[in-house]
Amino acid sequence: MAAKSIISRPVYGTLSPQPGKHHLFIADAEGALAIAEMAGRAPPGFFGDAEIVFIPGPHGKHTAALEALKSAQLHQAPSFASLLPRLRQTLANAHMGLRLYLAGTEGLIGQAMQVALEAGIDHTSIQTEHRGSLARRMQCVHCKGITENVTTQPATCAHCGLLLLVRDHYSRRIAAFQGVCINAEDRSEIPPMEEIFR
Amino acid sequence: MSTGTTKLDVVVSDVVPVNDLVTRFHFRRRDGELLPTFSGGAHVVVEMREGERTRLNPYSLMGSPLDTREYTISVRRDDVGRGGSLFMHRSVKTGMEMVVSYPVNLFSLDLRAKKHLMLAGGIGITPFMAQTAQLAAEGGNFELHYTCRTASLGTYADVLRERYDRRVRLYHDDLDERIELDRLLSTQPLGTHLYVCGPAGMINWVRDRAASLGWPAETVHFEHFAAPQPGLPFDVTLAVSGKTIRVDEQQSLLEAIEAAGVDPPYLCRGGVCGQCETNVISCDGKFIHNDHWLSEEEHRSGKKIMPCVSRFEGRSLVLER
């Protein structure tokens, strides 16, 4: 569970079935379990109007839990990048009454929400549940490069090589936490690097 | 005391009868300067001074937000109300000096929307006059569905059709034309926001269907100024200022509090904005809640009242004022 800090740091809830005509779920890895648990609280027939898009991740588990829900559609993708065109297409053709549910890692929730915002969905109307890794997508505020799966504090920018303090300051627009140079005054000062975003 | 709003000294620059029930009033600044800018959906509170009595009623600005040389409002005559609209219709003439509040917007467009779907009922058309003008100037995507009793009472229906053609759809009660609401709400593109202004029954119906059909609350905007209803006179003790006052039949509780020299904050005076929310210290009797601000739970609790539109019947009422 993500800890609460400054107001910009996203907080996640527990998926709950919403009134609506179509239900779009996007999940990765253990996010599948959040959907399966929500199914126990959903009215009968709920998944008949549901589409699930699932990224199983490196361990390839939990697909069976989703298959058991008998949703109208279940689509698997190897990565977020690979499902992006399909997601954009779905949202571009969708009508009001579509409800969005995001479950899994912070990176997945943030990137899917970014696409949803572009499609005109208000972030407060999206159901989210965090499961699995707390690894962060980080934007270097200096070179603007995005580094995926950051687990350490501080972290090295994969683009410009600066040593960055990973802040809780989050941008929904670019779906990333902000990384700020931790030793700008004296580059020879290297604080110890700890693995804290597991 | 109106929260954060200063007053504007204006002169009535034109009075235009629109149909049997509705008259339009134009205001300009007495000093000839431009009026403050506003956005579509904003209202002003008009001060109506009649002898000893001052009424303060909110009216939506219906002119284009691009033109701040004048403010225009349209007032529907209500023959059984407390007299504000009758005063406007009978006593307000071109050249008369009046005072209006700065504009306040409690019904603004969400400009992140991909499309704006507007539903108007009767005189609820007025905020949409300003909103459509604002959107049309920006090339915004909107669609207006307007229900009126008869064609002759379809205030500004002709103007809107001429300006926006097929983006405006009219429904006449006397011809039994009805909005196919479920179909309309189910066929809107993702990212649409819904705006509804009209009678309370219409607003409740639209909000209820939108919620059932999966429209998130953030995408549903509504405005309904409840006019303060007349009722039985009642006595109130104002605990903070140590006064006991009587609220007359034709007076609102807020007006009675103000008449006693106590100035609670207010903005809309129509049960919408929440500024005048007042704590109840004790009571013996029943509340007649008419606002759209407090939750049903708060209404039942008997601990809060909106003095701009709500009343009380019973033996005693003590307010934290």
Q: Residue B271 belongs to a domain with what CATH number?
A: 3.10.20.30
Q: Are residues B178 and B152 in the same domain?
A: yes
The string of pLDDT tens digits covering residues A142-189 is 999 999 999 999 999 999 999 999 999 999 999 999 999 999 999 999
Using 50 as the pLDDT threshold, list the residues of chain B that sit under it.
none
Kindly identify which residue of chain A lies nearest to residue B211, measuring between CA atoms: A19
At B41, which CATH number?
2.40.30.10
Q: Given this model, what pLDDT does residue B274 score?
A: 92
Q: Which of B114, B212, B216 sits opposite A125 (nearest CB)?
A: B216
Q: Are residues B238 and B203 in the same domain?
A: no
Q: Given this model, what pLDDT does residue B227 score?
A: 76
Q: Given this model, what pLDDT does residue B80 score?
A: 83
From chain A residues 91-150, the ones with a CB under 8 A of any chain B CB are 91-92, 94-99, 119-122, 124-125
Q: Are residues B101 and B121 in the same domain?
A: no
**pLDDT above 60 for A1:** no
At B163, which CATH number?
3.40.50.80
One-letter-per-residue 3-state SS of chain B: CECCCCEEEEEEEEEEECCCCEEEEEEEECCCCCCCCCCCCEEEEEEEEECCEEEEEEEECCCCCCCCCCEEEEEECCCCCCCHHHHHHHHCCCCCEEEEECCEECCCCCCCCCEEEEEEEHHHHHHHHHHHHHHHHHCCCEEEEEEECCHHHCCCHHHHHHHHHHHEEEEEHHHCCCCCHHHHHHCCECCEEEEEECCHHHHHHHHHHHHHCCCCHHHEEEECCCCCCCCCCEEEEECCCCEEEEECCCCCHHHHHHHCCCCCCECCCCCCCCCCCEEEEEEEEEEECCCCCCCHHHHHHCCEECCCCCEEEEEEEEECC
Residue B2 within any structural domain of the chain: no
Q: Given this model, what pLDDT does residue B2 score?
A: 59
Q: Are residues B154 and B244 in the same domain?
A: no
Tell me the residue range of the domain where B139 lies. 115-223
**pLDDT above 80 for A4:** no
Kindly identify which residue of chain B lies nearest to residue A20, measuring between CA atoms: B214
- The residue behind tokens 């954009």 is A88
Interchain CB distance below 8 Å, B215 and A119: no
Q: Are residues B150 and B238 in the same domain?
A: no
Q: How many domains, chain B?
A: 3
Write down which residue in B175, B190, B223 finishes a domain.
B223
Write down which residue in B223, B254, B280 finishes a domain.
B223
Write down which residue in B173, B199, B223 finishes a domain.
B223
Q: Are residues B58 and B151 in the same domain?
A: no
Q: Measured between CB atoms, does A51 come within 8 Å of chain B?
A: no
Residue pairs spanning A and B at CB distance below 8 A: 60
Q: Are residues B33 and B95 in the same domain?
A: yes
The mean pLDDT value for A105-117 works out to 95
Q: Which of A18, A19, A119 sits opposite B190 (nearest CB)?
A: A119
Interchain CB distance below 8 Å, B192 and A19: no
Distance from CA of B196 to the nearest CA of A (A): 16
**pLDDT above 90 for A34:** yes
Q: Are residues B96 and B69 in the same domain?
A: yes
Q: Given this model, what pLDDT does residue B5 score?
A: 55
Interchain CB distance below 8 Å, A98 and B214: yes
The string of pLDDT tens digits covering residues B127-170 is 999 999 999 999 999 999 999 999 999 999 999 999 999 999 99
- How many CA atoms does the CB half-sphere of B44 hold within 13 Å? 30
Q: Are residues B254 and B300 in the same domain?
A: yes
Which positions in chain B touch A98 (Cβ < 8 Å)?
190, 214
Q: Which of A96, A117, A126 to mutate to test the interface with B (most CBs of B within 10 A)?
A: A96
Interchain CB distance below 8 Å, A119 and B219: no
Interchain CB distance below 8 Å, B186 and A125: no
Query: Could you tell me if the ipTM is greater than 0.95?
Result: no
Q: Are residues B217 and B240 in the same domain?
A: no
Residue B1 within any structural domain of the chain: no
Q: Given this model, what pLDDT does residue B4 score?
A: 53
All structural domains of chain A, each given as residue ranges with its CATH number in brackets, are 22-130 (3.40.50.80), 136-195 (no CATH)
Interchain CB distance below 8 Å, B213 and A20: yes
Residue B228 within any structural domain of the chain: no
Q: Are residues B139 and B65 in the same domain?
A: no
**pLDDT above 70 for A22:** yes
Q: Given this model, what pLDDT does residue B82 score?
A: 80
Q: Are residues B216 and B278 in the same domain?
A: no
Residue B173 within any structural domain of the chain: yes
